[in-house]
Chains A and B, each alone.
Chain A
Amino acid sequence: MKNILNFLIEVGKLKRMPRKGWVLRGIKNPETIAAHTFRMAIMSWLLGKEKKLNINKVIKMSLIHDLCEVYAGDTTPYDNKFFSKNKKQWREITKKWPRFSKKEKEKNFQRKYKKENKALKKLLLNLPPALKGEIRNLWIDYEKGSTKEGKFVHQLDRVENLLQALEYWKKDKQFAIKPWWIQIEELVDDPILLKFMKALDKNFHKKETKEKIKDKTCGTSQRSRKNL
């Protein structure tokens, strides 16, 4: 039991670790890694059920997908060639989705995989073998998208990011939302998640356009009344 307790104490650190992507964009009180995991687990349950996936597996996979970040930290696509020590430049840099050559992508992918794999091994070291094996296999499946559940949760991770980004954008229109949509249009191909993205578009963008039109209409009618 002591080993499980130690593991849980380490995992608890994720409740206090802000997500780097939001820090780079200057978000105040940014969402933590654990908070992202929480909503992702709920999403994998609700949306995975619609897709008739193994719910037990997708929820577990969502819960463990970022555990390695206890030691590896949060990685963003801006970390390699775009990263600047000058905090003032961070917000500017993150306005564009970073692009890489095929070679660079493979190198970045391998580097991240190695770092996170090492961190996960360290975190799981003293867990009972069956649990250790299950968590490692779920993580590898998630990272490589080997099964339909792994593929689904991998894409879902980005969709949850998009939802959070839209919530930040709704509060502050200076927040650059374009890179979030760009990456997701290249990454997601799951029909249920594409349907969910349409719902996000309708809720955050089209609703906003409607509200603006409504405001303008109200303005016009008020002016019209004044004229009368």
Chain B
Amino acid sequence: MTKQKKFYLTKEGLEKIKKEYKDLRDLKFLKTKGEMPKIWHSEDLNPEYLSFQEDLSFLETRIAELEYIFKNSELIKTPSKEKQNIINLGAQVIVGVDDQTDEFEIVGTLEANPAIGKISNESPVGKILLGHKVGDEVVVSSPIMTIYKIKKIKYNIS
């Protein structure tokens, strides 16, 4: 972690990370006191149980990592009206590609999940879409050429 990296997060994403941080801090406290946490039966990831099996140093590493994220995080905000015709972080974009239509939301790496259409601004396609407008054709050519035609841009950031 020598190089400073910016983490772009939505308000919702930041809240999620804050919760994990609090849970891990509580767990560290329990662990140093030698108390076992209860096993959760939640459908979500249970960082408490997961981390408890790991060495204390891993727990501390994750806490330090989250602190680093807080320190270097920046909230994704809706751009001003005159800039809403340009793809930036938080934009929802409709593109035409290979005679089909696709829908992406450009997010920071921590919130990316391409399976539900959230692509990272650090992925080759996410990166190349940034700064473009409706009507632009963006070419990704490594190693096979694909053209993304931008059809619609909108912002719906809470």
Q: Could you list which residues of chain A lie within 8 angstroms of chain B, going by C-beta atoms?
A: 54, 57, 96-102, 105-106, 108-109, 117, 129-130, 133-134, 137-138, 140-141, 144-148, 151, 177-178, 181-183, 185-189, 194, 198, 201, 205-206
Quick check: B45 and A96 within 8 Å, CB to CB? no
B103 within 8 A of A: yes
User: Which residues of chain B (69-128) have a CB below 8 Å from chain A?
Assistant: 92, 97-98, 100-105, 109, 112-117, 119-126
Instruction: Tell me whether chain A's interface is mostly helix, strand or loop, or mixed.
Output: helix
B44-63 vs A, CB cutoff 8 Å, 1 = contact: the mask equals 11110110011000100010
Q: Which residues of B contact A182 (CB under 8 A)?
A: 97-98, 140, 144, 146
Q: Which residues of A contact B43 (CB under 8 A)?
A: 117, 140
Q: Which residues of B contact A141 (CB under 8 A)?
A: 45, 50
Tell which of B46, B98, B142 touches A137, judged by Cβ atoms closer than 8 Å.
Answer: B46
Quick check: B49 and A101 within 8 Å, CB to CB? no
State in angstroms the CA–CA spacing of A182 and B50 once bound together.
34
Least CB distance from B92 to A in Å reads 8
B143 within 8 A of A: yes
Least CB distance from A206 to B in Å reads 8
A189-B122, A206-B143 known, 15 other contacts, Cβ within 8 Å: A96-B100, A99-B101, A100-B102, A100-B117, A133-B39, A140-B45, A148-B65, A181-B146, A185-B142, A186-B124, A189-B109, A189-B112, A194-B124, A201-B142, A201-B143
